[in-house]
Amino acid sequence: MIHKILIVDDSPVSRKMLKSCIPKDREYQFVEAGDGLAGIESFKKHQPDVTFMDLTMPVMDGITALMEILKYNESAVVIVLTADIQIKSINRALDAGAFLVIKKPPTRERIQGVLSQAEAVLRKKS
Amino acid sequence: MNEISQIFEIVNFGLVILDSELRVKHWNQWMARHSGIDAERITGAFLLDFFPELKTPRFLRSCKMVLAFGNFSFFSQKLHHFLFPFRPDGAFKSMFEHMQQNCTLGPLRNDFNAVNGIFLIVQDVTELASYEQKLVEMNMKDGLTGIYNRRFLQTRLSEECQRHGRYGAKLSLIMFDIDFFKKVNDNYGHQCGDSVLKSVTANIASIIRKTDYLARYGGEEFCCLLPQTGLTAAHRLAERFRHQIEALKIPCQSHDIKVTISLGVSELRSEDSEEMLLKRADEALYSAKSSGRNCTAAIA
Amino acid sequence: MNDTQISEDEQDILQEIMNIAFGQAAAELAEIINIFVVLSVPYIRMIEAVDLPGYIQTEFSEFGNISIVEQNFWGDFKGTALLIFPAGSGKELVSLLDDSPAAEFQYSDILEKETLMEVGNILIGACVGKVAELLKDMVTYSPPKVIVEDHPDITMSKTLFDPANSAIILKTVFCFNERNVHGFLFLITSHKSVVWLKTALADFMKQYE
């Protein structure tokens, strides 16, 4: 079961948009970070079940942060949510180990679908 | 027919509406008149089947941009001359083989604001383009002789000098004038003087390469700019000029006029400015004059 | 805060919309017409229109000579787009469009100018079009114009820089990765559009409440 969700994105608006798309039927706990480096720290500290990761961010970009997180916990579920949807960028994120890459802006249907997919995978693992 | 449809047929420019597959939905009178293809025949057909010449990367890209982004796309006469290969309308047939056009492509949307078609406007700018072409020519050519004028020479000269600076390309200049030209005018009148100028330039123009530039520099003074040419070759060419003119008989009224020319040759040096090149050619010409005329002098 | 000013929150929303719009534009340009362009995260600021020429001048002082493609767009979102390249970029961009120009234009200024116009038209259309789409607006465009400046000493039409207006400047760096050409895209909207923009931004965010 997903309890804790980490959102790594430098834009507060973007974080708000994403949160509004996450179903309200369950009590999720949200943790937010504004850049890749802060994201890694939050991940280690809070051990989220699912992480949403932006790609273009100051301090440390999303791909680097994604790889660091997977180095720390290879079964981490990191979903990349990005405006940079060129095939090359999507492939780079997938190669780095992203669970899924979805394009901005997020929609309720898409996020709900992604979360159920993640949940299925997490259940199998446990 | 509603008012808008009437206007569609009346307007004095081409209007075409295409669906997202580039099939013709509407083809106005103007298009029918200039293409010789009636609306009934082309409606429902793929535009490119009727005009395979439109199958260019640029046109296809424009259509994609209109459909995907709602972009507008412009085909200017300046670069493209025309989109549809129509005959020119009316009196301008001589200047252009095809009607010169400015064309615009843009999106048409359905009720949900989604792009589902393309409009295409074709404007006939042949008249404007021919005026422009005449102006351009007037601006670079000498009215009497039809060779380039001094202004054009200056522009070419500085461009060629830049090229020399960048790529080390050779560049030479022949400056020449007609010996005792004043006497031609005094003895035979100005009309004959003009004939002499025309014959001399036409003669020389016929023996230079396409890449050389012959220009009228002053009254009876001329320059010939020779890209990719060193001093020796330029000197040889200058001598050909001289022999050619020496042998020339110019008929005017009842006379056969004979003239000679004096020539100065110079080559661009690496540290040179364009003024220096002109100045040395002028000095060479002066020394040719002072050593008896009808000869060539060169300053490296 | 009056209604021709953009609040910080609104600026953040606009930033995010631009981000999404430019991301889509870049992806579709690559997919649809094989032009690979990298657009940086746009930078937004409000500026008095009268300060604009000076602003552009300082921004590009290190560019030396510049070429500007100017194109107007009309919709509820209305303004001018400026694409600024270092001079000579047109030559580099010719091969970006896989057209084979007529021999007479192979190395001419006309070809360089027209290439800048075409690339400008494509970039501006894609970027503005996507922003308009996200904000449910519909825009039309004027034909692009190319201004080649000997130095970034901008002299532009007075109407664009109406001293009574404030302008929103949206700046993004773009770069054609295979061509090593980069430049700046500016969108300048008059304060008339700002009133509409504020409503459109609020409407956009309503779906995320």
Confidence of residue B172 (pLDDT cuts 50, 70, 90): very high
Percentage of chain C lying above the pLDDT 90 cut: 1
**Model confidence over B136-157: pLDDT tens digits?**
888 889 989 999 999 999 988 8
Spatial distance between the Cα atoms of A110 and C118, rounded to a whole number of angstroms: 36
Please name the residue ranges forming H helices in B3-117.
3-10, 29-35, 39-42, 47-50, 57-69, 77-80
CA A102: distance to chain centroid? 10
Is residue A113 within 8 angstroms of chain C, CB to CB?
no
CATH number of B3-133: 3.30.450.20
In a domain, C2, yes or no: no
Chain C residues touching residue A12 (CB < 8 angstroms): 12
Where do the DSSP E strands lie in chain A? 4-8, 29-33, 50-53, 77-82, 100-103
Confidence of residue B168 (pLDDT cuts 50, 70, 90): confident
Chain C residues touching residue A13 (CB < 8 angstroms): 9, 12-13, 15-16, 205
* pTM assigned to the model: 0.72
> Can you give the pLDDT at residue C151?
53
Q: Is the pLDDT of residue C165 over 70?
A: no
Is residue C15 within 8 angstroms of chain A, CB to CB?
yes
Spatial distance between the Cα atoms of B186 and B276, rounded to a whole number of angstroms: 34
In 10 A of CB B233, how many CB atoms?
15
Q: Are C122 and C39 in contact (CB under 8 A)?
A: no
Which of residues C107 and B13 earns the better pLDDT score? B13
Helix, strand, coil percentages (3-state) for chain A, rounded to 5, are 45, 20, 35
Q: Is the pLDDT of residue B178 over 80?
A: yes
CB contact under 8 A, B70 and C126: no
**Among B59-68, C74-83, C88-97, which stretch is predicted with the lowest mean pLDDT?**
C88-97
Chain C residues touching residue B104 (CB < 8 angstroms): 143
Mean pLDDT (chain B) is 91
CA distances from C146 to B69, C66, C161, C186, C187 (A): 22, 11, 18, 15, 16
Please compute the mean of the pLDDT values over residues C1-28 and round it to a whole number.
82
Chain C residues touching residue A110 (CB < 8 angstroms): none
Spatial distance between the Cα atoms of C90 and C105, rounded to a whole number of angstroms: 13
Nearest Cα residue in chain C from B110: C138
Is residue B113 within 8 angstroms of chain C, CB to CB?
yes
Q: Are A13 and A104 in contact (CB under 8 A)?
A: no
**Among A5-9, B250-254, C14-18, C145-149, which stretch is predicted with the lowest mean pLDDT?**
C145-149
Q: Is the pLDDT of residue C163 over 70?
A: no
Phi first, then psi: give them for residue C83, nearest 5 degrees. Answer: -115, 120
Tell me, what CATH number does C112's domain have? Answer: 3.40.1550.10
In a domain, C1, yes or no: no
For chain A, residues with pLDDT lower than 70 are none
- Token look-up 């004095």 returns B12
Overall domain count for chain C: 1
Domains of chain A (ranges, CATH numbers) = 4-114 (3.40.50.2300)
Please compute the mean of the pLDDT values over residues B169-187 and round it to a whole number.
92
Touching C (3+ Cβ pairs <8 A), the chains are A, B
Q: Is the pLDDT of residue C65 over 80?
A: no
Nearest Cα residue in chain B from C29: B65
> Which of these, C93, C33, C117, C123, lies nearest to B61 by C-alpha position?
C33
Is it the case that chain C and chain B have 3 or more CB pairs lying under 8 Å apart? yes
> Can you give the pLDDT at residue C194?
81
Confidence of residue C1 (pLDDT cuts 50, 70, 90): very low
> Can you give the pLDDT at residue C26?
86
Q: Does B220 participate in catalysis according to the annotation?
A: yes
Residue B11, amino acid:
V
Give the DSSP H or E segment for A38: helix A36-46
Residue B17 class from Cβ within 10 Å (0-12 exposed, 13-18 middle, 19+ buried)?
middle
- Bond preceding residue C163 cis, omega within 30 of 0: no
**Among B6-10, B52-56, B106-110, C189-193, which stretch is predicted with the lowest mean pLDDT?**
C189-193
Asked if the interface predicted TM-score (ipTM) of this complex is over 0.85, the answer is no
CB contact under 8 A, B70 and C139: yes
Q: Are B284 and B299 in contact (CB under 8 A)?
A: yes
Q: Are B265 and B298 in contact (CB under 8 A)?
A: yes
Residue in B3, B40, B220, B274 annotated catalytic: B220
Please name the residue ranges forming H helices in C46-99.
52-59, 89-93
Domain that holds residue C139: 8-206
The minimum CA-CA distance between C110 and chain B, rounded to whole Å, is 7
Which of residues C159 and B176 earns the better pLDDT score? B176
> Can you give the pLDDT at residue B130?
87
Give the DSSP H or E segment for B232: helix B231-246
CATH number of B141-299: 3.30.70.270
Under 8 Å CB-to-CB from C99, ≥6 apart: which residues? B56, B57, B58
Q: Is the pLDDT of residue B242 over 50?
A: yes
Domain borders along chain B are: 3-133, 141-299
Nearest neighbour of B79 by CB, restricted to C111, C125, C132: C111
Residue C65 class from Cβ within 10 Å (0-12 exposed, 13-18 middle, 19+ buried)?
middle
Q: Are B219 and B145 in contact (CB under 8 A)?
A: no
CB contact under 8 A, A13 and C22: no
> Can you give the pLDDT at residue B106?
93
Confidence of residue C160 (pLDDT cuts 50, 70, 90): low
In a domain, C3, yes or no: no
CB contact under 8 A, C122 and B74: no
**Model confidence over B228-239: pLDDT tens digits?**
999 999 999 999
**Among A17-26, B266-275, C106-115, which stretch is predicted with the lowest mean pLDDT?**
C106-115
Chain C residues touching residue B70 (CB < 8 angstroms): 125, 129, 132-133, 138-139
The minimum CA-CA distance between A68 and chain C, rounded to whole Å, is 23
> Can you give the pLDDT at residue C177?
66
Kindly give the pairing relationship between strand B171-178 and strand B261-267.
antiparallel
CB contact under 8 A, A13 and C30: no
